[in-house]
Amino acid sequence: MTNHTPSETRDAYTGVDFNLGFHVRHYGLDLTYRVRPNRLEGTATLHVVAEDDLSAITLDLTGRLSVRRVKASARVARFKHSGHKLRLTFAETVPAGTEFTLEVRYGGNPGPRRTAWGEIGWEELTDGSLVASQPNGAATWFPCDDTPSRKSTYDVRVTADDPYYVVVNGELLGRVARGSATTWHYQAELPVASYLMTVQTGDYQRFELGARTHAWAPPELEAEVRRAFARQEEMLDLFETTFGDYPYKSYGVVITEDELEIPLEAHGLSTFGVNHLDPEWERLLAHEVAHQWFGNSLGLKRWSDIWLNEGFACYCEWLWAEHAHGIPVADSVREHYEGLVKKPQDIVIGDPGPKDMFDDRVYKRGAITLHALRVSLGDDAFFAAVRRYVTAGRHSLVEPADLRAELGDVDAVWDAWLHQPALPECPQ
């Protein structure tokens, strides 16, 4: 079922035209990556179901990658790759309900796409690469339907030069060495939004941090990583107690030897720079763990609702600070409320617009919104409602109405904090 109304043809936040009329249920990616020349060659096999009668479809793929060949079980008459879109025309109309496969061979020198929020997607490091795609950078490394409202399963094989370690979302099924290269095989069996898929290559070593948590990092950073992430398993346990079962089998972190401006979550793992090993960034470790529930398992239907992801992740920073360091959540609320008072009150966080979707006010006011709802309902009712919301939306898509339905009669608080620019009084 489509997640766009008939009048919607373009994502109002990314400005990218939707790929309408079909759903990619599964991606099979077979990639070869030469690290030093930053050369990527790939074959993407898409398992597609037609939701409408289709004479043509589009996919997202940035212009730095060239399409070599396209073939499908529903015969393609012609294809054209331009303007970051791959356009396919079928020889005959594909009836609604038809399942078909589509194979795209492509290659080139991948790199990030330039957006209003900076460069996103595939990025070269000093000695390796990473992928950080929020909100629509997946098209920098494979042809896809790059929208948050579409989730798919993945099977990914990456052949890379030795001695580089390759990290991909999901479970590592195996690796096979041939000559001077190794093929790494990963599988993500649970549905994933395209922007939450990642490939990381580097001089990494994997080591365990807890029963369900592990890290990949340059070997010389192991001691520092173990110190910085020593309580990550405890974070997982805290949020599981608060919100319900952890959504995945395990949680991993990749720590690059490069400095990164911000860490970023992906499906089942997060990426940090070497600069984030400083203890002052502990709150961000909790933030990224929380995203495994809010943003990853509970995916957004549209980017205008991003406060659901970031508000919960920020609130989890404060829950962790209370649990681990005895700082009451109310103190964190007051501190950040005072910060909001000093900033312009010209943003509606329930639909902040593309320019402000990553504004810190969305994050902090989103978190305080949750506290205002908690104060209004009381702890027992609030957390019970959130657990119901998390359970109902597990590995699916959510929107604010889903949370509101579980919370009950919170109209006044909801409207004041989410739909009015003026800052309400600080919840006590």
Are 16 and 303 within 8 A, CB to CB? no
d(CA 352, CA 306) in angstroms, rounded, equals 9
Residue range(s) defining the domain that contains residue 106:
1-203
Q: Tell me, yes or no, whether 16 and 118 share the same domain.
A: yes
Q: Judge whether 287 is annotated as a binding position.
A: yes
Q: Tell me, yes or no, whether 223 and 249 share the same domain.
A: yes
Q: Tell me, yes or no, whether 380 and 306 share the same domain.
A: yes
Q: Tell me, yes or no, whether 115 and 225 share the same domain.
A: no
Laid out side by side, the sheet with 165-168 consists of: 113-115, 118-125, 128-132, 199-202, 165-168
> What DSSP designation does 168 have?
E
Q: Has residue 240 got a pLDDT over 80?
A: yes
Considering the domain boundaries, does residue 87 fall inside one? Answer: yes
Are 244 and 387 within 8 A, CB to CB? yes
Q: Tell me, yes or no, whether 66 and 155 share the same domain.
A: yes
Q: With bands split at pLDDT 50, 70 and 90, how would you rate the model's confidence at 4?
A: low
Q: Judge whether 240 is annotated as a binding position.
A: no
Q: In a 10 Å sphere around its CB, with 0-12 CB exposed, 13-18 middle and 19+ buried, how is residue 341 labelled?
A: exposed
User: Which CATH number goes with the domain that contains 363?
Assistant: 1.10.390.10
Question: Residue range 121-140: average pLDDT?
Answer: 97
Q: Which two tokens stand for residue 221?
A: 């950073």
Considering the domain boundaries, does residue 210 fall inside one? Answer: no
**Which of 379, 345, 381, 386 lies closest to 364, judged by CA?**
345
Considering the domain boundaries, does residue 424 fall inside one? Answer: no
- Asked which of 159, 183, 203 is the last residue of a domain, the reply is 203
**Residue range 248-289, pLDDT digits in tens:** 999 999 999 999 999 999 999 999 999 999 999 999 999 999
Are 426 and 367 within 8 A, CB to CB? no
Q: Which two tokens stand for residue 201?
A: 């290559």
- Asked which of 265, 292, 319 is the last residue of a domain, the reply is 292
d(CA 116, CA 227) in angstroms, rounded, equals 36
User: Which CATH number goes with the domain that contains 149?
Assistant: 2.60.40.1730
Beta bridge partners of 397: 299
Considering the domain boundaries, does residue 427 fall inside one? Answer: no
Q: Which two tokens stand for residue 148?
A: 């948050």
Considering the domain boundaries, does residue 425 fall inside one? Answer: no
pLDDT of residue 8: 78
CA 419 centroid distance within chain:
25
Helix (H) or strand (E) holding 85: strand 85-94
Helix (H) or strand (E) holding 199: strand 199-202
Q: Tell me, yes or no, whether 369 and 313 share the same domain.
A: yes
Contacts of 323 (CB under 8 A, 6+ apart): 238
Helix axes 379-392, 400-407, angle to 10 degrees: 140
Q: What is the number of structural domains in the chain?
A: 3
What positions carry a catalytic annotation? 288, 363
| Residue for token pair 């006011």 | 365
pLDDT of residue 215: 98
d(CA 269, CA 170) in angstroms, rounded, equals 9
Q: Tell me, yes or no, whether 226 and 169 share the same domain.
A: no
Q: Tell me, yes or no, whether 305 and 287 share the same domain.
A: no
- Asked which of 292, 327, 359 is the last residue of a domain, the reply is 292
Q: Tell me, yes or no, whether 17 and 35 share the same domain.
A: yes
Considering the domain boundaries, does residue 426 fall inside one? Answer: no
Question: What b/e sequence results for 283-292 when a residue is b if at least 16 CB atoms lie within 10 Å of its CB, and e otherwise?
Answer: ebbbbbbbbb
Omega into 135 within 30° of 0, i.e. cis? yes
Considering the domain boundaries, does residue 423 fall inside one? Answer: no
**Residue range 109-127, pLDDT digits in tens:** 999 999 999 999 999 999 9
Report phi then psi at 195, rounded to 5. -70, -15
Helices and strands in the chain: count of H runs, count of E runs = 9, 22
> What rounded mean pLDDT belongs to the chain?
96
Q: Tell me, yes or no, whether 270 and 340 share the same domain.
A: no
d(CA 269, CA 150) in angstroms, rounded, equals 20
pLDDT of residue 5: 55
The one-letter amino acid at 412: A
Q: Tell me, yes or no, whether 265 and 174 share the same domain.
A: no
Are 105 and 94 within 8 A, CB to CB? no
**Which of 368, 252, 353 lies closest to 315, judged by CA?**
368
d(CA 171, CA 168) in angstroms, rounded, equals 8
pLDDT of residue 1: 40
Question: Residue range 336-340: average pLDDT?
Answer: 98
Beta bridge partners of 76: 90
Q: Tell me, yes or no, whether 386 and 336 share the same domain.
A: yes
Q: Has residue 77 got a pLDDT over 80?
A: yes
Share of the chain above pLDDT 90, in %: 97
Q: Has residue 65 got a pLDDT over 80?
A: yes
Q: Has residue 7 got a pLDDT over 70?
A: no
pLDDT of residue 236: 98
Considering the domain boundaries, does residue 428 fall inside one? Answer: no
d(CA 308, CA 5) in angstroms, rounded, equals 21
User: Which CATH number goes with the domain that contains 269?
Assistant: 3.30.2010.30
Question: Residue range 352-359: average pLDDT?
Answer: 97
Q: Judge whether 99 is annotated as a binding position.
A: no
The helix/strand/coil state of 95 is: coil
pLDDT of residue 428: 84
The one-letter amino acid at 300: L
